[in-house]
Structure 1
Amino acid sequence: MPNETLPNLDRRSFLVAPLAAAAVIADAGQGAAATMGNTVFTGDVVKGKKVVSTLDIADLEPGQKHLLYFQGVESATGQPWLVSVMVAKGRLPGKRITLTSGVHGDEMSSIRVVQLVMEQLDPAQMAGSVMAVFDIARPALEGMQRRWPNQGRGIDLVDMNREWPGNENGTTASSRQAGLLFNRVLRPNSDIALDFHTGTTGLDCNDWIIGNREIPEVKAIIDLFPVRQVLDSPAYPGVLHNAFTDAGIPSICPEVGAARILAPDMIAPFVEGTMNVLKHYGVVGGSIGRTGADAGMFIGNSAAPILATQGGFIEHLVAPNDKVQAGQKVVVQRNAFGETVAEYASPVDGEVGAIRSDASSEPGNALMFILFNRAPAAGDADYPE
């Protein structure tokens, strides 16, 4: 006997019903674009996190952590690159501190510093806010490579840390990404900014910071970090921490050890220093921990490069943070037979700031940078950012 409680179902019903259900599920992750104050929500929800195209942290609920995605520039297939943003907004008003990382795609320890700081924060006990941006150069991070693979005339590898403050209508995707982020997230929501990096692939450094100590507030921030070396220099045009500073937002560039790895011994002092900054500005409570004075901080205003004149295998005779004298032999280079083809000496008195981590080199590569002090009128050398 047929069950009269069942509806009459034909073949088309079995096909249409799953499609309708899938449409309902897909629609659950989307919605109409909306604004809340100055914040613009696109209507998209990705893995439970709302997507914004403009952020004003004044619109966010105090006493909470907010996890969002920022809609950045579109990829070559038309999908926007989403950038992970977390805001710990205090229960009380106060300073707005911004922590950025992932401007270069091979810098892992810098991202971990920011993650660990955010894990420690309890917004219910905070005054002000801490905004973390974890993965700014998403295409570079996907391949764990330093530069953004821009698809203009074939693949061009663009150093995004020469693009700031960017241009929303620029001629490269990386310039537009920088412009969108700087104008719609970073500049409007920052009173102080720390832009975290590491050494680049092929070049290793220890714990050091880049910043212009002629700016009193920048000097005060640097001194709160228990790191061993500081490059007191404005550095290159187009870097993010300079874009912040030019916009009236004091900023520094901490460099957290080597690229492509997590280095816990390098990460720890930068987490401690960042928490010192938050305590200094009253964002969180507690006493200041170790500082640059405790670490025996060495401050130089220049970094002298030692460049390879030959190709071959290299052996370092000194390590990062070692003191060296002008004329001291610091690198030996050999060919495939083991014959010495070049020896390199430090051109200055100073400390070893960074060394080439790859064991071979072509002519022209940087083998080492020596951090030192020279007369300001002489100008500054390149630095291993």
Structure 2
Amino acid sequence: MPSEANGLDRRDFMILATASATALISTVAAASAQDTATATQAQAGKGTLYTGDVIEGKKVIGALDVNDLEPGRHHFYFEGVQRVAGQHWYNAVVVVKGASPGKCVALTSGVHGDEMNPIHCIQTVLDQLDPSAMAGTVLAVLDISRPAIEGMTRRWPDTGRGFELIDMNRWWPGSENGPNAVSRHAWLVFNKLLRPNANYALDFHTAATGMDATAFHLADMTNPEVKAMAELFPIDQIFDDPQYPTLLANALIAEGIPALTPEIGNPRRLDLDMIALFVEGTMNVLRLHGLISGPMGRTGRDSEVFVGNTMGASIATHGGFLQLLVNLNDRVEVGQKVAIQRNAFGEVVAEYTSPVAGEVGARRTDASVEPGTPFLFYLIQGSSTPVEDYPE
């Protein structure tokens, strides 16, 4: 019997449903073909790869080409290395593309999971950008070592060979077939986000947990383009030393992308006053490369930045509780008393003097130390003293 509901009998309804289904199939097929073409193009290094997934309203990408984006602000999740259960780690990616063509400056944070100042610094810079008034693109990757950030730990917790904590800043540019998830994730971020797009880069860090540091850079000042960017920040110190080749900044430099490592003080918490210095410097860098217009803000000339080419350290010889006698940025001389150490009875077990003349660049914030623990780092000018590894 015919149905009068909605004015359609069953035959009419089936014809309409069939037609709608056919149209839907055609639309899905066309979209699928477009996705396939986009994926093929992206894999060839010619476009952004959309995986088809959406997380919290944000499209998921497996590769990025800022050239195929419209001017404006774009938020993506980047599909990184897989987790144990098969899901992926995802990184927050923000692209602010100007109305006019120009250079691409990459801003990165979260290579270490206890570094909160850098994330807030980049967020603040992004909030100040107006795409309609920009020439070029800012690419931000904010939480690179996502599992380390989740646990507020400096190193990536890896379970490939039991459980170990791996410093991601010893693995750049990574390896597609690397021996752990860290190196593979580094390869993905480096080759699918940063290297294809960036003309310049700033990789923001802080001191390690248990330490505090001045507002400073780790930068290769023999590179003229790196030096030009580094001097635009109104900060305290610059350590003129490239350090390890596996640092993200150095891996980028090896690819012809000038980069440096700004270090924004302490880990784990926000220092808004210090963050403001690095926001000001970053905006200066964007002006330098023509992304935004306007007069330069304060620079290293205004802050009388101290540039050192060597770093020394005071290292505990005993276990116990440490009383530091010097502060960040203090000038010290060889033989100057810098710390007193006591045991649980309150007896003095050691008194420490500075082994070098220079400025205090970092100091331990935890009062307890074990033998072999570095508790003060000094920045030195023109010294032949062996360089200590700085815990960037």
Q: Taking structure 1 as the reference length, what is the TM-score of the superposition?
A: 0.90
In the comparison of the two structures, how many residue pairs are matched?
357
Q: Secondary structure at the match of 1:189?
A: coil
* RMSD, matched Cα: 1.6
Instruction: Confirm whether residue 109 of structure 1 aligns to residue 112 of structure 2.
Output: no
2:48–2:63 contact (8 Å) kept in structure 1: yes
**Alignment partner for residue 308 of structure 2, among 270, 283, 300?**
300
1:311 is aligned with what amino acid?
Answer: G
Deviation at 1:384, TM superposition (A): 3.2
Partner residue in 2 for 1:276: 284
1:226 is aligned with what amino acid?
Answer: P
Deviation at 1:375, TM superposition (A): 4.5
**Alignment partner for residue 140 of structure 1, among 135, 148, 151?**
148
The structure with more radius of gyration: 2
Instruction: Confirm whether residue 215 of structure 1 aligns to residue 189 of structure 2.
Output: no
Partner residue in 1 for 2:57: 48
**Alignment partner for residue 259 of structure 2, among 247, 251, 258?**
251
1:350–1:372 contact (8 Å) kept in structure 2: yes
In 1, Cα distance between equivalents of 2:387 and 2:252:
21
Residues 256-275 of structure 1, C-alpha deviations (whole Å, 9 max, x = no match): 01000011011010000000
1:239 is aligned with what amino acid?
Answer: L
Structure 2 unaligned regions, length at least 5 = 6-30
2:312–2:386 contact (8 Å) kept in structure 1: no
Q: Taking structure 2 as the reference length, what is the TM-score of the superposition?
A: 0.89
1:166–1:177 contact (8 Å) kept in structure 2: yes
1:65 is aligned with what amino acid?
Answer: R
Q: Secondary structure at the match of 2:195?
A: helix
Partner residue in 1 for 2:9: none
Instruction: Confirm whether residue 261 of structure 1 aligns to residue 308 of structure 2.
Output: no
In 1, Cα distance between equivalents of 2:84 and 2:310:
40
2:310–2:383 contact (8 Å) kept in structure 1: no
1:381 is aligned with what amino acid?
Answer: E
Residues 21-64 of structure 1, C-alpha deviations (whole Å, 9 max, x = no match): xxxxxxxxxx95552751111000001110010110001002x0
Residues 266-303 of structure 1, C-alpha deviations (whole Å, 9 max, x = no match): 10100000000001111001100000011110000111
1:380 is aligned with what amino acid?
Answer: V
In 2, Cα distance between equivalents of 1:171 and 1:38:
29
1:302–1:383 contact (8 Å) kept in structure 2: no
Residues 173-192 of structure 1, C-alpha deviations (whole Å, 9 max, x = no match): 00000001101110111000
1:305–1:382 contact (8 Å) kept in structure 2: no
Partner residue in 2 for 1:9: none
Partner residue in 2 for 1:382: 389
Residues 244-263 of structure 1, C-alpha deviations (whole Å, 9 max, x = no match): 11111110100001000011
**Alignment partner for residue 200 of structure 1, among 208, 213, 216?**
208
Partner residue in 2 for 1:25: none
**Alignment partner for residue 100 of structure 1, among 103, 108, 126?**
108
In 2, Cα distance between equivalents of 1:192 and 1:302:
25
In 1, Cα distance between equivalents of 2:390 and 2:178:
27
1:369–1:384 contact (8 Å) kept in structure 2: no
